[in-house]
Amino acid sequence: MKLTNFLRPTDWSKLSATGSILSYELRKNIVFSQILILSMVGLFIHLIADSIRGDFGIVGVVVLTMLVTGYTYYLNEQQKHKKARTFFFISINIIFFVLASWVPRECAVNILFIALMGIALVAHPYREQKLAIMYVSLSLLAIIVLEVTSYQPLGNSFKLLEHSTLFNSIINIVSAIVILSICLLFSIRLNHRAEVLLLKRENQLLKTNEKLDRILYSASHDLRAPLHSIKGLMNLAAMEAQSDNIKYYFSLADERIAKLDRFIVDILEFSRSTKNQLAMEQVSIREMVNEIADALKYMDGASRIQLIREFGDIDFVTTDRRAVSVILTNLVSNSVKYHNYQQDNLWIKIMIARAEDKVCISVSDNGMGIPKEQQDKVFDMFFRATDQANGSGLGLFIVKEMVDQLNGNISLHSEFGSGSEFSFCIPQEENDRVLA
């Protein structure tokens, strides 16, 4: 093993062979195996030193600790991770507690509990953070009990060592510092790998999105161009046709082509809505509504509908011009398309009101309305509320996406046969700060 690869999570553990991608939790388990092996190395050095010095009572405790550590490593490598951690932290806390009771306080066994806390925090994945806190609390409780009882919680009738030596203190302090340093290094490297992996995946997503954008643009152009050509040729053929039936068939085909073209436009609009960054500015709602009314006045039936504007003294709002334009255009065009043309006095009303730090805009009509059982689905992708719907089913879905991007909310109130009201509110105070 190369020294430069010493701290790799894949060293000294076969867990890395369980999957092609090392997840965060799997890396934590691998790190735990590494810490256990490093602890075994330290314990072995401790065993040799104590054997040479003739501290055979301490040797027995070290051997027991090595057995616990070795069995924990075995459980962890068998993918019994939770069982391994539970066995290790309970057993080692008990061993250290008893050892601290049987040796002089000056041996600094208490500092080993701090090292154990570090291992508990590093070895547990996020979803087991409560267990990590529990084991840290267990070690902390052991230290408190030892301090309160002057390191004699089991009495002073039995001692493994009568007198502490500088060697005992140094080796425990050094062991704790080394373990804590290794835990810190592993934690830093683990976080670094997670950041690198996150950046790598983010770059991959950006590249994939760019490719999809190019494909979408190319596909939409390749689809719309022949549609327009076919539409033009059909118009010419209809002008030359003598039979009324042929003209009727051409008009039906023309409607289908127009429907397909609108679907492609909606797909493009949805793609743009998910990619564009918001550009906050002062937007005149009055001017925007006038522009939308001019753009939609040639829709079938639009000339029969009265557009009512109730703006009060509100005109300019701080928002993204394109987003609000898309929202209002979709809502107003839906009101035109699904109005009740069997009645008189057709109207669409646009209202604006301020509510604390928000501006609320509503679009209502006295059209067909939406059945109650369908109202929860109107913002779903590709959902059509009526059999008369000839759109793509993306309009209200795009509206909801745009409102969400503006950190706003949208609601629907509708009675079937009486009409509908869509109301959306967008924050102003936050947008004013962005503009400033």
If you average pLDDT over residues 415-419, what whole number do you get?
88
Domains of the chain: 3-202 (no CATH), 279-435 (3.30.565.10)
pLDDT at position 361, please?
A: 92
In this predicted structure, the answer to whether residue 409 has a pLDDT above a threshold of 80 is yes
Q: Which residues lie below 8 Å from residue 348, measured CB to CB, with a gap of 6+?
A: 305, 306, 307, 308, 332, 335, 336, 339, 363, 364, 365
The model's confidence at residue 267, banded by pLDDT at 50, 70 and 90, is low
Q: How far apart are CA 106 and CA 102, in angstroms?
A: 12
pLDDT at position 436, please?
A: 47
Mean pLDDT check: name the lowest of 52-66, 187-201, 224-238, 411-425: 224-238
pLDDT at position 221, please?
A: 61
Identify which has the larger pLDDT, 60 or 231: 60
In this predicted structure, the answer to whether residue 96 has a pLDDT above a threshold of 60 is yes
Phi, psi of 351 (to 5 degrees): -120, 145
Average pLDDT, the chain: 80
Residue 63 and residue 75 in contact, taking contact as beta carbons nearer than 8 Å: no
- Kindly state the percentage of the chain with pLDDT values over 90: 19
pLDDT in tens, 358-369: 899 999 999 888
Identify which has the larger pLDDT, 232 or 126: 126
Residue 365 and residue 341 in contact, taking contact as beta carbons nearer than 8 Å: no
Structural tokens at position 187: 């934690």
pLDDT at position 275, please?
A: 60
pLDDT in tens, 69-89: 999 999 998 889 999 999 999
Q: What is the CA radius of gyration of the chain?
A: 36
CA distances from 9 to 24, 25, 206, 286, 383 (A): 11, 12, 28, 62, 49
Identify which has the larger pLDDT, 1 or 203: 203
pLDDT in tens, 370-379: 888 888 888 8
Other C-beta atoms closer than 10 Å to the C-beta of 43 total 19
Q: How far apart are CA 209 and CA 73, in angstroms?
A: 44
The verdict on pTM exceeding 0.85 is no
